[in-house]
Amino acid sequence: MRQIDSVSFFTTHHYSQNYNFLVKADTLRLVCQAPDELPFDSASVTRGDRVVVADIMIMPADTIDSVWVKIARDQATQGWVREVAMLPAVQPDDPISQFIDVFSDTHLLIFLAFAVIVTAIYLLRLIMRRHAHIVHFHDINSFYPMLLALLVSASAVFYATIQLFGNESWRHFYYHPSLNPFGLPFHLGIFVTSVWAIVIVGIATVDDVFRKLPFADALLYVSGLMAVCAVDYVVFSISALYYVGYLLLVVYIIWAVSQYLKKSRTRYYCGNCGREMTEKGLCGFCGAVNE
């Protein structure tokens, strides 16, 4: 048995004594006796229980895992468990960490990717058949939708880059998340800034779309935009892991900007109400026919 150097352990494992976890496994079995004693009693914590790290011990002779962690739910329910068994069964007791945990689940990501692509294809086909407005193809006179799609794509590539080249710093962020970009390492600060930018531009996009289109058309446009952004996230976050995403992002930016410059300019105004129109015909706001 060997006591730990708390500073060294925190540096490599990113948590230490008094750290709070939330149990996500159905059941996590604990041994009530210390690892160097004969086990004869056990306890269990279950999904949704909040536990705290009470002690950490190193057992060099343990061939399975030398790190043992003592966690406690309350005075009556506490015990020891190997770290290798504990970590998959718990998550940090922080909503940001839990959000990261959900979207780091491989099986969930595969399911989401399939669901997103199928839904997006169906929705985009519906929009095209109705000749409704859609970002990149039949866009409105607004810079925000294109900017939002590009921000989502760039953020997905940057997220994958952190997974590839800064995995240890991302692991530390997972245990100690923050929405303040100025209190984080430079690369993580840029990523958090991009997330804030998505939120701000997203709000501006919705506001601008509902000002420029009738309610039903605006709702359909926003739905289509969400589908495009979802596909962008899936495609770029996966392709960047294989280094293809970087070139793909450059091509996508050039294409998206050129599409915006060609197709989103306002060419007409309704002669009756003065609202913007991208083509002649029936005004979606007042119903007047413009020829």
Return the higher-pLDDT residue of 221 and 7.
221
Q: Is the pLDDT of residue 106 over 70?
A: no
Q: Which helix (H) or strand (E) holds 288?
A: none
Q: Using pLDDT thresholds of 50, 70 and 90, give the confidence band for residue 77.
A: very high
pLDDT digits 0-9 by tens, 215-264: 888 888 898 898 889 889 888 988 998 999 999 999 999 999 998 888 66
Q: Is residue 135 within 8 Å of residue 146, measured between CB atoms?
A: yes
Domains of the chain: 2-92 (2.30.30), 96-290 (no CATH)
143-172 CB burial, b ≥16 within 10 A, e <16 = ebbbbbbbbbbbbbbbbbbbeeebeebbeb
CA 62-29-2 angle, 5° bins:
30
Which of 44-53, 99-108, 153-162 is predicted least confidently?
A: 99-108
Q: What is the pLDDT of residues 177-207, one digit of tens each?
A: 999 999 999 999 999 999 999 999 999 999 9
SS3 category, 134: strand
- Average pLDDT, rounded, for the chain: 86
pLDDT for residue 104? 72
Which among 157, 132, 114, 115 is positioned nearest to 223, based on CA atoms?
132
